[in-house]
Chain A
């Protein structure tokens, strides 16, 4: 059993990332897409924290920033979603195709 090293973290993060990407690409519910985006961000956070073990605290500081950013993004995203829901009464991305125009 090799000790748990940086690579392990990276693999877990990569798995998380891919899961997030697949969630973003395949799920129809915006809330779940937002959750998947959180997964992606947290995969990145995991990477940052893992690398901070090798190169100092910058990574952890960045991770804090990313968490803050994620919170803000979730807030804004959910706010837009609520506003949109009031207009369209749907959270299904397939029906949110206004960008086409």
Chain B
């Protein structure tokens, strides 16, 4: 169990690589950088394989039980720890974080640095590390002549760390850490050529649009914590499956819808998909790794991870399915007419992600995950192939300037063709199995509305085949349309790039065989493997009266029904029709070739070419770039209007109130000073003061003066008693004389002594 118990090493290895690049990268040789960064990811892949291999043993011993390894309790106390916990740095002394759940129950908040390995995370773990390692190897060739080599690999490793944290987390909080981490790396890598304004703008766009989704994720997370009292996947799933919660519970519906907002942001669904096509400003390996194979499937992963909750919220499920289907057809139709090779692939990615959400929304979690798995290989392959094409074309990305490359770069050509077969759904390539499973699940879901979803998916499949073969024919066939100088430089990519292409081509061919359906004599191992994660959901769906979506075994008879063969035939037919249409239109494409859509329906072509004017619409509604005069439109305009209202009306009222207060204060102060104090207080006081002056002359504070007055009084009484009034007056006169003389003398002394 050495790999399983050291599962925390898997994300840590790329993190160490990233840290090395951060601190020493500038000084290192390219070979050292390759050894550290590529090596760490390859090691992580080996560890991941070992861990999954050991997990299969583990799950044989404990059927249906996920493996949890809580390294340490990150927030809250560790009393809920269930796994092996070798390190408990704070132990019992760490303070508990208590919050009240909805029913007033105090629940200790706890988030671990804990790792969860179950079939779902195993699949992600394997293809993220596997495809990641291949793309790292490819990048050593692709980025060989670029500046910022160490920076690029540092970011890539950081991305691997974040993504592995995201998929191995055993609770929503740690998952969110990874979620934000991949968002950051996405931002950094889209803006890798930051000196290009379009790249930095695209990076900002991706980051900001993702923030909107992240806000939804956070709110959903809070709702779950509040409602269930826990954020651990195992606990939440257990509670949700306990039967205490009714199907259609409004709070669970709200929580799942909020989570889906997060998924929409990360996985580029309507209405938040707008960042992904622009994300193609990043280097092509980044587009392959982050914006096609791994990061953008994080939303799918999160929804699949929360499947127990989503099953309890049919409204959310419907929303997911409808948004998924709409995104699929919407993006595919845009992809029909784009000329930038990477942009076509970007819209293709958005469209395929829509498929995945369609599958999740109709309850076919296993089928959705299966499509993620196959898509990772063939879409990574397509992007890496397009990177190889761009490499060969000296940086040219416009397909109008390509053509007839198939003899010049044969390996790229053949591997990309395999990927195209896979994505178009032509058997026996990988995409056929997963896409067909999704379409079949959509068809066999309850109700006519789901048939409509199937129809949308079917039309999307047709479009997918068309735009992919259009891309292939425009790029590799037809007449050469590039300039002579570019043509002169065309060369097949180095081994470091072609070998990953070949490996991925093998995967894109074979990956689908894991889910070979029963109807074609297979055993659908993939769905079986995922059964422990989703099996219960099938039961819930059945209990609700819906036909089971998930466990293949449950509907084995149905699976072999003639309808399924019919649908299979139809989707293969659609793929071949798309192929044929593209072949007819672009086989001989020369300079100034005519787009068939532009020829038949120019208005439609214009709308599609301008991506339904969604970005322009967002400019009107959201970003505030559109102005009438000086006034912005849309939300920003409303914000500015509110700001104006605030600063002029609200603040005006506040200032007015302040002014009135101050004015009345001045008035009161004046009244107080002049009327109250001046007239009523000071006047009587001054009158009494003035009137007191005569008395004050007698009272000058000298003890002896008082004594003298006393003596005069005494003498007066004595004289009166003896009838000697004359003597008294003589005495008084004498005393006065003495006093005046004394005062005079003292005055003179004071005046002239100094």
Chain A residues within an 8 Å CB radius of B703: 93, 96, 99
* A67 at interface by CB-CB < 8 Å: no
Contact present for B702 and A97 (CB under 8 Å): yes
A21 part of interface (Cβ distance < 8 Å)? yes
Chain A interface bracket (under 10, 10 to 19, 20 to 34, 35 or more) = 10 to 19
Interface size class of B (residues with CB under 8 A): under 10
Find out whether the CB atom of A97 lies under 8 angstroms from the CB atom of B701.
Answer: yes
Q: How far is the CA of A24 from the CA of B699 in the complex (A)?
A: 18
How far, in angstroms, from A20 to B707 measured CA to CA in the complex?
Answer: 12
Q: Please, which residue of chain B has its CB at the minimum distance from the CB of A98?
A: B701
Residues of A within 8 A of B711 (CB): 21, 25
User: B704, A25: Cβ atoms under 8 Å?
Assistant: yes
| Minimum CB–CB distance for B530 against chain A, Å | 98
Q: Could you give 15 example pairs across A and B, Cβ below 8 Å? A: A21-B711, A24-B704, A24-B707, A25-B708, A25-B711, A26-B704, A33-B704, A93-B702, A93-B703, A93-B704, A94-B702, A96-B703, A97-B701, A99-B703, A101-B701
Asked if A100 is at the interface of the complex by the 8 Å CB criterion, the answer is: yes
Which of chain B's residues 706-754 have a Cβ closer than 8 Å to chain A? 707-708, 711
* A21-B711, A25-B711 given; A97·B704 CB < 8 A: no
Cα distance, A25 to B704, chains bound together (Å): 5
Given contact pairs A25-B711, A97-B702, enumerate 18 new A-B contacts (beta carbons under 8 Å).
Answer: A24-B704, A24-B707, A25-B704, A25-B708, A26-B704, A93-B702, A93-B703, A93-B704, A94-B702, A96-B702, A96-B703, A97-B700, A99-B701, A99-B703, A100-B699, A100-B700, A100-B701, A101-B701
A95 to B580, CA, bound (A): 125
> For B701, what are the chain A residues with a Cβ–Cβ distance below 8 Å?
97-101
Task: Chain B residues near A97: list those with CB within 8 A.
Answer: 700-702
A25: chain B residues within 8 A (beta carbon): 704, 707-708, 711
B140 to chain A, nearest CB (A): 94
CA distance A24 to B709 in the complex (A): 12
Interface of chain B, helix or strand or loop or mixed? helix
Query: Which chain A positions have C-beta within 8 A of B704?
Result: 24-26, 33, 93
Could you tell me which residues of chain A, from 22 to 73, have a CB within 8 Å of some CB in chain B? 24-26, 33
CB-nearest residue of chain A relative to B711? A21
Which partner residue on chain B sits nearest A95 by CB separation? B702
Q: Which residues of B contact A21 (CB under 8 A)?
A: 711
Task: Please report A residues at the B interface, Cβ cutoff 8 Å.
Answer: 21, 24-26, 33, 93-94, 96-101
Q: 4 tightest CB-CB pairs across the interface, nearest first? A: A100-B701, A97-B701, A99-B701, A25-B708
Distance to closest chain A CB from B201 (angstroms): 81
A97 to chain B: closest residue by CB: B701
Which of B494-510 touch A at CB < 8 Å?
Answer: none
Q: How far is the CA of A94 from the CA of B745 in the complex (A)?
A: 14
Q: How far is the CA of A100 from the CA of B704 in the complex (A)?
A: 13
Q: How far is the CA of A93 from the CA of B705 in the complex (A)?
A: 10
Q: How far is the CB of B359 from chain A (nearest CB, A)?
A: 99
Q: Give the CA-CA distance A25 to B707 in the complex, in Å.
A: 7
The minimal Cβ–Cβ distance linking A49 to chain B, given in whole angstroms, is 23
Q: Which of B683-703 contact A (CB under 8 A)?
A: 699-703
Q: A96 to B705: give the CA distance in the assembly, Å.
A: 12
Complex Cα–Cα for A48 and B250 (A): 112
Assembly CA distance A26 to B701 (angstroms): 15
**With the chains together, A29 CA to B701 CA distance in Å?**
16
Give B208 Cβ to nearest chain A Cβ, in Å. 76
A33 to B701, CA, bound (A): 17
Digitize B89-101: 1 where CB-to-A-CB distance is under 8 Å, 0 elsewhere. 0000000000000
Which residues of chain A come closer than 8 Å to B702, judged between CB atoms? 93-94, 96-97
Query: How far is A101 from B120 in the complex, measured between Cα atoms in Å?
Result: 95
| Nearest Cβ on chain A to B6's Cβ, whole angstroms | 86
Query: When chains A and B are docked, how far (Å) is the Cα of A98 from the Cα of B702?
Result: 8
Shortest CB distance A40–B (Å): 11
Q: What separation, in Å, do the CA atoms of A33 and B708 have in the docked complex?
A: 13
Of all chain A residues, the one with the shortest Cβ separation from B696 is A100
Query: Once the chains are docked, how many angstroms separate the CA of A101 from the CA of B699?
Result: 10
- Chain B residues, Cβ within 8 Å of A33: 704
The complex places the Cα of A69 from the Cα of B681 at a distance, in Å, of 48
Q: How far is the CB of B749 from chain A (nearest CB, A)?
A: 12
Tell me the bound Cα distance from A89 to B331 in angstroms.
Answer: 102
Name the distance in Å between B692's Cβ and chain A's nearest Cβ: 13
Q: Give, as a whole number of angstroms, the nearest-CB distance from A32 to chain B.
A: 12
Give every chain B residue within 8 A of A99 (Cβ-Cβ): 701, 703
Minimal Cβ-Cβ distance residue in A for B746: A94
B708 CB to nearest A CB, Å: 5
- Distance, CA A98 to CA B700, complexed state (A): 9
Cβ distance B579 to chain A, nearest Cβ, rounded Å: 114
How far is the CB of B724 from the nearest CB of chain A, in Å? Answer: 15
| Residue ID in chain A nearest B708 by CB atoms | A25
